[in-house]
Structure formats: structure tokens, C-alpha cells
Structure 1
């Protein structure tokens, strides 16, 4: 049900994504994350197209952490920030972090391979139905995503929406 991938540039680390729908305790989860009781990023799946999008953000966050260049205070907040097309941290949390009323959540964990028990621990904290991470596109709000990333019709004709989103994420630091 969850998706774990080894980071190419940090082969000692895994990024694990766990997707839930019908979540009943989003407010509690968000509060625990703010207090540092949850060692993971809690992301609004309606603003995501693919698990690859999250993997790109996590890979960048781990790299920035290693070179002491993060713009936020933690690895998990840096993942959320890296999903955003802008450099506004509070806007990134508003758009990509979960809110108290959300009924779905993508949990992103970054851990050593021997810490795979964290996946089970996290799954017990969420009062919701775990679903396949590959089904994330069924929760996507395409119109909001296109608007946020300012994807034009012309751009969609020459590439995919995911291509446009990844491009915006990757180039936000140089634009």
C-alpha cells in the first residue's frame, strides 16, 4: 500500500509515502506535526499529481539539508516548501500542508532502511483508510493545480501537466 524508494544521491535513505482517504483526525495530525510529535510531512493530496512529484521535493530537501541550505526549520517542512512553485514559505504550507478540515493526507517519511517500522507506527496514528499511493491522481484537483502552477493550454499540448509542475518546482530558485 505504501511506496518506499531509495534516494539515488543518498542511498542510505528511503522516502516512504503513505496515502489515506476518509481521514477523521486531520486536526489532531496537523497539531502533532506542528508540535514535532510526527516525524513526517503531512501533505494535501489534492494538490499532487504523482508520487514522483513528492520524490523530487524530498530529494531536493535532503540535498539542501546535507549542504546546510534549507530555507525552513526541518526536513519535513522543506519537503512541503519544495512542492511549491513560489518562494513564499507560508503560502507553501497553506497550499500543500494539511488543514484541520481535510479528509485525505499523504504522509511522507524520510528514514534509514533499518527504520522501516516507522511506516507501521505512522499508519496507526491516522484515523482513515489507507489506499495505494499510485491512486493519488484520483484525489487531485487538476484545476487548482493548473492555476497554482500557472500552466497554459499551450504548455499542456507540448508536454504533460506533471512535466510542467516538476519544471516549476525545479526552477523556482532561479526564476
Structure 2
């Protein structure tokens, strides 16, 4: 049900994504993350198109963490920030972070291979139904995503919405 991917540039690290719907304790989860009791990023999956989008953000976060150039306080908050098309940290958390009333949550973990127990630890804390990460697109709000990333209909004719989103995530540091 969860999706794990070894990072090519950091082969000792794995990014694991776990998707939940019908979540009843989003406020508690968010509070636990703020207090550091959850070692993962809690993301609103309605603003995501694909697990690949999250992998791009996580890979960038690990790289910035390794080089000491993060703009946020933790690697997990950096993942959320890297999903955003802008450099406004608080706006990134409003758009991509979990809110108290959300009923779906994507948990993103960055861990060493031998720390696979983290998946069961998180699963035990979430009061919701775990679903395959491949179902992420069924929770996506395409209209909000297009508006946030400013994707025009003309741009969608020459590439996918995911292509446009990932390009904007990648270039935000140079624009």
C-alpha cells in the first residue's frame, strides 16, 4: 500500500509515502508533527498529482539538508516547502500542509533502509483508511493545482499538468 523509493543520489536513504483517506484525527496528527512526535511530512494530497512530485520535493530537501542550505527548520518542512511554486514558507504550509479539518493525509518519511518500522509506527497513529499511493490522483483538485501553479490551457496542450508542476517546483529558486 505504501510506496518506497531509494534516492539515487543518496542510496542510504529511502523515501516512503503512505496515503490515508477518511482521516478523523488530522488535528492531532498536525499537532504531533509540530511537537516533533511524528518524524515525517504531513501533506494535503488534494494539492498533489503524483508520487513523483513528492519524490522531487523530497530529493531536493535531502540535498539541501546535506549541504546545509535549507530554508526551513527541518527536512520534513523542507519537503512541504519544496512542493510550492513560490518562496513563501507560510504560504507553502497553508497550501500543502495538513489542516485540522482535512480528511486525507499523505505521510512522507525519509529514512535509512533498516528503519522500516517507521511505517508501522505512523500507520498506528493515523485514524483513517490506508489506500494505495497510486490512488493519489483520485484525491487531487486539478482546478486548484492549475490555479496555484498558473498553468494555462495552452501549456497543457504541449505537456502534462504534472510536467508543468514539476518544472515550476524545480525553477522556483532561480526565478
User: Which residue number in structure 2 is paired with residue 59 of structure 1?
Assistant: 59
Using the size of structure 2 for normalisation, the TM-score is 1.00
Query: What are the superposed Cα offsets for residues 40-85 of structure 1, whole Å, 9 maximum, x if unpaired?
Result: 0000000000000000000000000000000000000000000000
User: Which residue number in structure 1 is paired with residue 48 of structure 2?
Assistant: 48
Q: Distance in 2 between matches of 1:123 and 1:169?
A: 29
User: Which residue number in structure 1 is paired with residue 145 of structure 2?
Assistant: 145
User: Which residue number in structure 1 is paired with residue 159 of structure 2?
Assistant: 159
Q: Secondary structure at the match of 2:8?
A: coil
Q: Secondary structure at the match of 1:19?
A: strand
User: Which residue number in structure 1 is paired with residue 16 of structure 2?
Assistant: 16
Q: Map 1:60-139 onto structure 2 (within 5 A).
A: 60-139=60-139
Q: Which 4+ runs in 1 deviate beyond 6 A?
A: none
Q: CA deviation at 1:7?
A: 0.3
Q: Secondary structure at the match of 2:162?
A: helix
Q: CA deviation at 1:26?
A: 0.2
CA RMSD of aligned residues (A): 0.3
Q: Distance in 2 between matches of 1:158 and 1:47?
A: 22
Q: Distance in 1 between matches of 2:71 and 2:154?
A: 33
Q: Distance in 2 between matches of 1:36 and 1:150?
A: 34
Give the number of equivalent residue pairs: 175
Q: Secondary structure at the match of 1:16?
A: strand
Q: Distance in 2 between matches of 1:145 and 1:54?
A: 14
Q: Secondary structure at the match of 2:68?
A: coil
